[in-house]
Structures are given as C-alpha cells and as structure tokens.
C-alpha cells in the first residue's frame, strides 16, 4: 500500500514563489495497491496524478470527503477520463439523503465539457460506496467530521497496515459536534499514518471557531492519544508561506518528540510506502 500526496492546500489553490516547497494545489491523495488506485478527493492536485498515471493500465477509484470546491475542482482535468480504455470508478458522496457523483460536473455549464466528452469506462457506484470498495479489496471505514455542511474522514486498511485521512475537521468543536474528540481517538488508534487537517495555529483558532478546521496543537494531542505511528499535517491555510509551514512543522515535531511520533507537513509528491516503510 503506497500513500501519495498530490494536493495538500486548503480552501483555494495558491501557486507562486512562496508555496514552492509544500505546493499550492488543493486536496488530493492516493492509496495504491496492485494496480488499483484509491483517490481521496479531486482538488487541483488530481491533475498531476492523471498526467503521471494515464495509460499505465491502473484502475482508479474516486472517493470524496465532501463537496466543497477545493475537494472537487480538479476532477474535469483528470486526463484518464478522456482516454478510451481507462477504468474509473466513481463513488457517490452521500449526505442528508442526497447522492452526488463527480460525473455530474460534466454538465456543459460548470465546466465546458459535457458527459459525452468522457471516453473512459466510468462505473458509478450504486449503493453504499464503502461496500463497493470492500468488494474490491479496499477495506475503508468512515467517520462523520465536524465541518460546515458535513464531511467524512476515512480509515483505509490493507495487509495489516492502515492510513487515516481526516481533512476539514474541527477537533475542538463541541456544540453540536458530529463526533467527539474521544471518538476520533478510537477511530485513529494505532494507525500507521494519520493525515489530519491542521489549518490553524493555536493563536488563530479562537477567532475561527465554527469554520471547521483544527489547530496543530489539537492534532498533536490526537496523534499522541491514539498512539499513531506517524503524523502528517494536511490542508495548509492558503495564506501560509513555505517558511510558515516549516515553522509549524518544527513546533509539532517538538511537541511529539517525547512520544516518539515522527511528524511532517504534507507536501506535493510526498510518497510513503507502507509495504517497505521506505519513503521515496
């Protein structure tokens, strides 16, 4: 199982000279095994993924955490969609009795392309998306997140290894929270990798209560309580420069040193091989 980060930025893409190290593209990660590629979210990072893997014969499975634009806006630029013979499985995102498939973006209005421009063999999941994935040997569990409009976090397991990806979630959100801090601890317990939204610093968080993101200190507290083996800070604020992300990463490393948990800020191109434990 190989975890790769293609887009790590929150809210809006921010390309430019101050984001070259960690990257300016919005949310997209993949978890890959045996020629099957599970894509979580289709932010602008999905464009580079498509260009890297079009024509490789891999099968793609798209799973969404929620429908905010920074998690969906890259999908029309996923090259395998426009090539006959590619196989793309689309999981419905289901919330409040509504099901949404990313293929609905191809309406000729939101994007210039209509559905007939898609040449890939696209299969849309019918029924529960996690059961659809389990039938294809991706064991995925979900948890409701504390985020305006709702969102889902995922734990993906294969071969005794597990990755938890929780983006767009406020760990400190108490009034009307979908999920308590303790329930997140249970969900993340013992994961090989925890990738979690860490958009705010502790100083910023009080003024942004209710926006649905976490401060780094709470994310470190979760990593320690759940005894995860490695922490990745995800969904960097769009205003954050590389130097600022570096500083947040250093502070988190100091917090986690006593617990012996390695920590880094997600960056485009970060690849973690959970089979060999070697990073490439």
Q: Could you list the residues that contact Zn ion (CB under 5 A)?
A: 10, 68, 70, 168
What is the pairing mode between strands 87-90 and 2-7? unpaired
The CB-nearest residue to Zn ion is 68
How far apart CA 181 and CA 183 sit, in angstroms, is: 5
Of 161 and 213, nearer to Zn ion (C-beta) is: 213
Of 10 and 74, nearer to Zn ion (C-beta) is: 10
Q: Smallest distance from the beta carbon of 44 to Zn ion, in angstroms?
A: 12
Going by C-alpha positions, the residue among 81, 89, 80 that lies closest to residue 118 is: 81
Of 120 and 265, nearer to Zn ion (C-beta) is: 265
Q: Smallest distance from the beta carbon of 92 to Zn ion, in angstroms?
A: 18
- Residue 233, CB half-sphere, CA atoms under 13 Å: how many? 31
Q: Smallest distance from the beta carbon of 149 to Zn ion, in angstroms?
A: 7
Q: Smallest distance from the beta carbon of 257 to Zn ion, in angstroms?
A: 29
Of 10 and 24, nearer to Zn ion (C-beta) is: 10
Of 55 and 149, nearer to Zn ion (C-beta) is: 149
How far apart CA 9 and CA 11 sit, in angstroms, is: 7
Q: What's the maximum distance between 2 C-alpha atoms anywhere in the chain? A: 56
Q: Smallest distance from the beta carbon of 264 to Zn ion, in angstroms?
A: 20
Instruction: Say if CB 121 and CB 88 are below 8 A apart.
Output: yes
């Amino acid at each position: 199982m190989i975890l790769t980060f293609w887009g790590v930025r929150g809210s809006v893409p921010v390309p430019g000279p101050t984001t070259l190290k960690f990257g300016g593209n919005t949310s997209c990660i993949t978890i890959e095994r045996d020629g099957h590629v599970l894509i979580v979210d289709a932010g602008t990072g999905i464009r580079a993924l498509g260009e890297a893997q079009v024509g490789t014969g891999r099968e793609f499975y798209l799973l969404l955490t929620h429908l905010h634009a920074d998690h969906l806006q890259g999908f029309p630029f996923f090259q395998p969609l426009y090539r006959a013979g590619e196989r793309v499985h689309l999981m419905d995102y289901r919330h409040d009795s509504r099901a949404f498939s990313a293929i609905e973006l191809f309406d000729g209005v939101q994007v210039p392309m209509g559905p007939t421009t898609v040449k890939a063999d696209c299969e849309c999941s019918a029924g529960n998306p996690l059961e659809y994935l389990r039938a294809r040997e991706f064991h995925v569990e979900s948890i409701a997140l504390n985020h305006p409009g709702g969102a889902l976090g995922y734990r993906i397991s294969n071969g005794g290894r597990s990755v938890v990806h929780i983006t767009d979630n406020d760990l400190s959100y108490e009034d009307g929270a979908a999920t308590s801090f303790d329930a997140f601890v249970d969900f993340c317990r013992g994961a090989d990798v925890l990738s979690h939204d860490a958009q705010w610093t502790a100083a910023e968080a009080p003024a942004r209560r209710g926006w649905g993101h976490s401060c780094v200190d709470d994310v470190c507290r979760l990593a320690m309580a759940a005894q995860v083996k490695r922490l990745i800070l995800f969904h960097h604020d769009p205003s954050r420069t590389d130097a600022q992300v570096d500083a947040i990463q250093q502070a988190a490393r100091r917090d986690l040193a006593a617990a012996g948990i390695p920590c880094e800020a997600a960056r485009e191109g970060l690849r973690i091989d959970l089979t060999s434990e070697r990073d490439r």
